[in-house]
A = this chain, B = another copy of it.
Amino acid sequence: MKVKRFPENPLITPNDVQPSREDFEVVCVFNAGAIRYQDEILLLLRVAERPKTGDPLIVPVPILNLESSGDIDIFELSREDPEFDFSDTRIVVGRKKAYLTSISHLRLARSKDGRNFTIDTEPAIFPNCATEAYGVEDPRITELDGTYYIVYKSVAPDGITQSLATTKDFKTYEKHGVIFAPENMDAMIFPDKVQGKYVALHRPVPHMIGEPNMWIAYSPDALHWGGHKYLAGVMTGGWESGRIGGGAVPFMTEQGWLEIYHGATPDHKYSLGAMLLDADKPERVIARSAKPILEPEMSYEVDGFVPNVVFTCGVIVDGDKLTIYYGGADTVIAGAELSVAEILSHLKS
């Protein structure tokens, strides 16, 4: 597979992003939704911030204050507290409760050429309700009949859910609440209705029975979802044996819907693959990648907040040219060009 990574990579790093408040630092800018809007490419960045601290024995955890709209409280946990497991840099796991070490919001970046981006100084979508108390993450943007549907991960002590916001102008956003109940990640809406219904991919994370697999669902209005079906699952032994989940919003090709998704090994190496879904019955998987189409290889993919991760939330399609925007090592934004025809030719039924 010919992968033309942008020579400008990484396109956006934490240093390029102004924190939302002075006592915070931006630790990661990654997993961006991507869409063409007017004469620009928009990326809706996930910006993860954490409170600055000088004390290595203190782990500050930022949590939305639900009494005071938009304020974030900072709780300080001691690294020496045996109640907590600090081994994962992203999450602190206690006996009764888990905390995140950063809180994410969504921020717009704009570009004429798709490579040089100007980043807004203000957030576009900020956590502001109980289901978002730990932040908003990993947006996917779909245009359908002039409305832009943004599905994003909403994280809270009560669970990880998928929420919906809409906009028509990328200036004002309307939040519509939770569309997929806990625990759910990696949801996105198709850019066309199929058989009169909105279609979405999502990735439930079961507790007792089942694995982190991809599911499909249908809706009359994009707000209420049903007809949930298992779509595709982890594969034994390879690059996608740990978990899989939807990546970019699927797009239509001559052979059906093409979905760029992620797979991870049990030791958390994240790569990207492709999956072809039936045009009229997208719950039917026609073919998928035997090997990844993009794997962590470059330093900005291998080293970072979470090593060995390439993870996409959005692509831009221009004829045969597919630009994949992706997070590298959960730290930066990068881009790569691939050929749609070449991806299709490498799929395996």
Contact among B206, B213, B223, B229 for A178, CB-based, below 8 A = B229
A161 within 8 A of B: yes
A233 and B179 contacting across the interface, CB-CB below 8 Å:
no
The answer to whether A228 has its CB under 8 Å from any CB of chain B is: yes
B224 touches A226 (CB 8 A): yes
Residues in B whose Cβ lies below 8 Å from that of A228? 161, 177-181
- Chain B residue at smallest Cβ distance from A100: B209
Complex interface residues of chain A between 186 and 228 (CB less than 8 A to chain B): 202, 204-211, 213, 215, 217-221, 223-228
Question: Quick check: is A312 within 8 A (CB to CB) of the other chain?
Answer: no
Query: Once the chains bind, are A229 and B184 in contact (CB under 8 Å)?
Result: no
A98 contacts across to B, CB distance below 8 A: 208-209
A233 to chain B: which residues have CB within 8 Å?
A: 158
Is the beta-carbon distance between A177 and B226 smaller than 8 angstroms? yes
* CB nearest neighbor in B for A230: B158
Contact for A209 among B155, B176, B178, B226, CB less than 8 A: B155
The answer to whether B227 touches A225 (Cβ under 8 A) is no
Give A1 Cβ to nearest chain B Cβ, in Å: 29
- A337 an interface residue at 8 Å Cβ cutoff? no
CB atoms of A181 and B160 under 8 A apart: no
In the assembled complex, the CB of A262 is this many whole angstroms from the nearest CB of chain B, namely 17
Residue numbers in B under 8 Å from A161 (CB-CB) = 228
State how many residues of chain A have any CB contact under 8 Å with chain B.
48
A214 CB to closest chain B CB (Å) equals: 11
Q: Give the shortest distance, in Å, between A235 (CB) and chain B (any CB).
A: 12
Tell whether, in the assembled complex, residue B227 and residue A226 are in contact, meaning their CB atoms are under 8 Å apart. no
Interface contact B159-A183, CB-CB below 8 Å: no
Known interface pairs A183-B204, A204-B183, A224-B219; A210-B157 also in contact (CB < 8 Å): yes
**Is there an interface contact between A205 and B204, defined as CB atoms closer than 8 Å?**
no
Q: Least Cβ distance of A129 to chain B in Å?
A: 10
A206: which B residues are within 8 A, CB to CB?
Answer: 159-160, 182-183, 205, 207
Contacts of A159 in B (CB 8 A): 204, 206, 209-210, 213, 230
Q: A289 within 8 Å of B by Cβ?
A: no
Q: How far is the CB of A267 from chain B (nearest CB, A)?
A: 16
Q: Which of these, B155, B156, B207, B227, contacts A177 with CB under 8 Å? A: B227
Instruction: List chain B residues, Cβ under 8 A from A160.
Output: 206, 208-210
B226 close to A178 (CB less than 8 A) = yes
Task: Verify if A128 is at the interface (C-beta below 8 Å from B).
Answer: no
Interface membership of A286, Cβ < 8 A: no
Contact of A221 among B91, B181, B220, B236 (CB under 8 A): B220
Residue of B nearest to A233 (CB): B158
Measured CB to CB, the nearest residue on chain B to A213 is B158
User: In the complex, what residues of B have CB within 8 A of residue A223's CB?
Assistant: 226-227
Judge whether A31 is part of the interface by a CB distance below 8 angstroms: no
The answer to whether A205 touches B202 (Cβ under 8 A) is no
A-B contact pairs, 21 of them (CB 8 A): A155-B209, A157-B209, A158-B210, A158-B211, A158-B230, A160-B206, A160-B208, A177-B228, A178-B229, A181-B215, A182-B206, A182-B209, A182-B210, A182-B215, A183-B204, A183-B207, A183-B209, A206-B207, A207-B207, A218-B224, A223-B227
If A160-B209, A177-B226, A178-B229 are given as contacts, then 16 extra A-B residue pairs at C-beta distance below 8 Å, sorted by A number, are A157-B210, A158-B210, A158-B233, A159-B204, A160-B210, A161-B228, A176-B226, A178-B226, A181-B202, A181-B228, A205-B208, A218-B224, A219-B224, A220-B220, A220-B224, A223-B226
